[in-house]
Amino acid sequence: MTKTIKVKRLPVDPGPAAWNSILTPASEYPRLNGDINADWVVVGGGFTGIAAARRLSQLVGTESIVLLEAKRLADGPAGRNSGFMIDLPHDLSSETYAGAHENDLRQIKLNREAIRFAGEMATEYGMPKAVFNPCGKVTAAGSSRGEQHIASYQKHLSSLGESFRLMDHSEMKEWTGCDFYRNGLFTPGAVMIQPAAFIRKAAEGLSAKISIYENSPVTRMELGAVHKLVTPGAIVRAKGVILAVNGHIQSFGFFPKRLLHVFTYASMTRALTPGETQRLGGASNWGILPADPMGTTVRRSSDFMGSGDRIVIRNHATLNQSIEATAQNMKRAARLQDRSFENRFPMLKGVEMEYRWGGRLCLSLNSVPAFGEVESRVWAAACQNGLGTVKGTLSGMMAAEQAVLGSSTLLTQFLDHQQPGKLPPEPFLTVGANMTMRWKEWQAGIEM
Ligand SMILES: Cc1cc2nc3c(=O)[nH]c(=O)nc-3n(C[C@H](O)[C@H](O)[C@H](O)COP(=O)(O)OP(=O)(O)OC[C@H]3O[C@@H](n4cnc5c(N)ncnc54)[C@H](O)[C@@H]3O)c2cc1C
């Protein structure tokens, strides 16, 4: 008996993946053009797919592994995110990122396993500090409301036994060059990555052991004793499949009415001139998460792999259950980001944004992954709740362990979560969620 799954939608990404665009163009992996057989297929080449492929390669010895990516590697959300690999609780739907105590302790442990796994890749595949930098992260406040968030985050970290250091206004100014931040909270366990370079380097390293195909979207699956994955160019037959497509797991028909498709947006300046860099002052590499989860993330780096000294601004979120953002969404995000940039960097008046883009997140109402064996020998590793560099890495590792080992100590801890909660019906969901996010953005005030 075979079951056919027709893939309803393929990914559409608004604007360029700037982190990928600023790198020297990568040589292409082939498009799948002739039918092949493999033991394992990983669908999706983001953080989840890369981690799944690597963990599989560690577990299955000489068995063959194929990775199919619909587009170019690092052109999707993997090359669009802000590059914070965060070990601590990062619940975007909470007021301060914090969750329940026991769950947070478990999450920290799991996140650190994922970061350790990513760190192994960084070492093994020779990633420089500009790509993988274990320098910690700073969460900062630009308003008294933000300071309150920092104070309560600090309290929560103390209760978890986590270390941190408070940075005052003058230290923040010395570090960032701008007057904007009242204070900041440094925590040491995070890693800052150049996300596109990380994915490309990891894929390059892995390609010695696995076969990678780009521009090879899976458009149909025929499930049977041997699964058949159909792409526009050819077919792969395999005994095991890991679907590492984040929200597009729903395009394969799984987890219906359980997943929230949120887009968030960013802009990157052109390279600053030496005069502008001097006017700005401060350190040449830094990143800041907003104290209010609805606020603005900022990164500056003079070392984006030789592409100049640039600033990246990320904010704004919209719910798009069609899994596509609109031109209107992009326009509004651009306006908001220009305002955030002006508020923080008045000394850089006139510096234009060279790139503007949006990217997909997938969240569940109860902040849990969409994970598990969804059909015989087909595993889902999806719904990374906005922290895919870490949670994606983790769920990719875990999918490979579940597929090959069946159980492991880490897997038992990872699986200790509920299924994604059921969503309210439309149009209440989309209207309600977008109104709530606009309200929260308004409340975030100057933190935006
Ligand atoms: C602006 C922005 C900032 C962000 N900042 C951060 C941050 O600082 N830290 C953090 O941890 N996260 C951040 N995120 C979220 C993070 O990017 C995602 O959570 C992460 O990319 C999810 O990883 P993934 O591998 O599960 O999915 P994706 O990165 O979405 O990868 C899935 C891949 O599957 C492919 N695919 C889909 N359908 C098919 C198909 N039918 N056939 C073949 N391939 C298919 C897609 O093309 C895609 O490449 C940010 C996101 C955005 C947009």
Taking 90 as the threshold, does the pLDDT of residue 304 lie above it?
no
Q: Which residue has the tokens 């299924």?
A: 419
| Best probe residue, ligand 1, of 82, 199, 364 (max atoms within 8 Å of C-beta) | 82
Q: What is the pLDDT of residue 100?
A: 79
Q: What is the pLDDT of residue 26?
A: 86
List residues bridging with 361 in a β-sheet: 262
Taking 80 as the threshold, does the pLDDT of residue 97 lie above it?
no
Determine how β-strand 191-193 pairs with β-strand 183-187: unpaired
* Rounded alpha-carbon distances, angstroms, from residue 333 to 14, 31, 270: 12, 34, 18
Q: How far does residue 80's CA lie from ligand 1's centre (Å)?
A: 8
Q: What's the pLDDT band for 307 if we cut at 50, 70, 90?
A: confident
Rounded to whole angstroms, the Cα distance separating 334 from 390 reads 27
Of 207, 193, 217, which Cα lies nearest the Cα of 72? 217
Taking 90 as the threshold, does the pLDDT of residue 102 lie above it?
no
H-helix or E-strand containing 3?
strand 3-6
78 ligand 1 Cβ < 6 A? yes
Which residues of 12-90 form beta strands (DSSP E)? 36-43, 65-68, 84-85
Radius of gyration of the chain (CA): 21
Average pLDDT of the residues in 243-259:
98
Size of the chain, expressed as the number of residues it contains: 448
81 ligand 1 Cβ < 6 A? yes
Rounded to whole angstroms, the Cα distance separating 120 from 198 reads 12
Q: What is the pLDDT of residue 302?
A: 81
Q: How far does residue 346's CA lie from ligand 1's centre (Å)?
A: 33
In degrees rounded to 5, what are phi and psi of residue 136?
80, 180
120 token code pair: 């192994």
Average pLDDT of the residues in 437-443:
94
Q: What is the pLDDT of residue 98?
A: 67
Average pLDDT of the residues in 101-126:
96
Compute the CA torsion angle 92, 97, 103, 108 (nearest 10 deg): 100
In degrees rounded to 5, what are phi and psi of residue 403?
-65, -40
Q: How far does residue 250's CA lie from ligand 1's centre (Å)?
A: 14
Per residue in 186-210, is it b (16+ CB within 10 Å) or e — as a string?
bbebbbbbbbbbbbbbbbbbbeeeb
Q: What is the pLDDT of residue 96?
A: 62
Q: Which tens digit of pLDDT belongs to each residue from 195-233?
A: 999 999 999 999 999 999 999 999 999 999 999 999 999
Rounded to whole angstroms, the Cα distance separating 440 from 444 reads 6
Average pLDDT of the residues in 19-38:
95
Average pLDDT of the residues in 331-352:
98
Q: Which residue has the tokens 């030789």?
A: 306
The CATH number given to whatever domain includes residue 310 is: 3.50.50.60
Q: What is the pLDDT of residue 93?
A: 64
Rounded to whole angstroms, the Cα distance separating 264 from 437 reads 11
Taking 70 as the threshold, does the pLDDT of residue 52 lie above it?
yes
In a 13 Å sphere around the CA of 10, the CA atoms on its Cβ side amount to 13
Taking 80 as the threshold, does the pLDDT of residue 243 lie above it?
yes
Structurally, the chain folds into a number of domains equal to 1
H-helix or E-strand containing 444?
helix 428-444
| Protein residue whose Cα sits closest to atom 14 of ligand 1 | 81
Average pLDDT of the residues in 108-130:
97
| 8-state DSSP, 66 | E
CA 440 to chain centre: 22
390 ligand 1 Cβ < 6 A? yes
Per residue in 226-252, is it b (16+ CB within 10 Å) or e — as a string?
ebbbbbeeeebebebbbbbbbbbbbbb
% pLDDT > 70, the chain = 98
| Best probe residue, ligand 1, of 87, 245, 268 (max atoms within 8 Å of C-beta) | 245
Q: What's the pLDDT band for 61 if we cut at 50, 70, 90?
A: confident
The per-residue pLDDT of the chain, averaged, comes to 96
CA 83 to chain centre: 8
177 ligand 1 Cβ < 6 A? no
Q: Which tens digit of pLDDT belongs to each residue from 2-14?
A: 899 999 999 999 9
Q: What is the pLDDT of residue 396?
A: 98
Q: Which tens digit of pLDDT belongs to each residue from 353-375?
A: 999 999 999 999 999 999 999 99
Taking 90 as the threshold, does the pLDDT of residue 101 lie above it?
no
Contacts made by residues 93-99, CB under 8 angstroms, sequence distance 24+: 93/293, 93/363, 93/367, 94/293, 95/149, 95/152, 95/292, 95/293, 96/149, 96/152, 96/153, 96/156, 96/291, 96/293, 97/139, 97/153, 97/293, 98/152, 98/153, 98/156, 99/367
80 ligand 1 Cβ < 6 A? yes
195 ligand 1 Cβ < 6 A? no
Contact 396, 119 (CB under 8 A): no
14 token code pair: 């608004």
Ligand 1 atom at shortest distance from the alpha carbon of 73 = 49
392 ligand 1 Cβ < 6 A? yes
359 ligand 1 Cβ < 6 A? yes
Burial category of 142 from C-beta neighbours within 10 Å (exposed 0-12, middle 13-18, buried 19 and up): buried
| Protein residue whose Cα sits closest to atom 2 of ligand 1 | 81
247 ligand 1 Cβ < 6 A? no
77 ligand 1 Cβ < 6 A? yes
In a 13 Å sphere around the CA of 193, the CA atoms on its Cβ side amount to 30
Domain around 28: 3-447
Rounded to whole angstroms, the Cα distance separating 238 from 226 reads 6
| Protein residue whose Cα sits closest to atom 27 of ligand 1 | 246
51 ligand 1 Cβ < 6 A? no
Of 263, 295, 360, 292, which Cα lies nearest the Cα of 94? 292
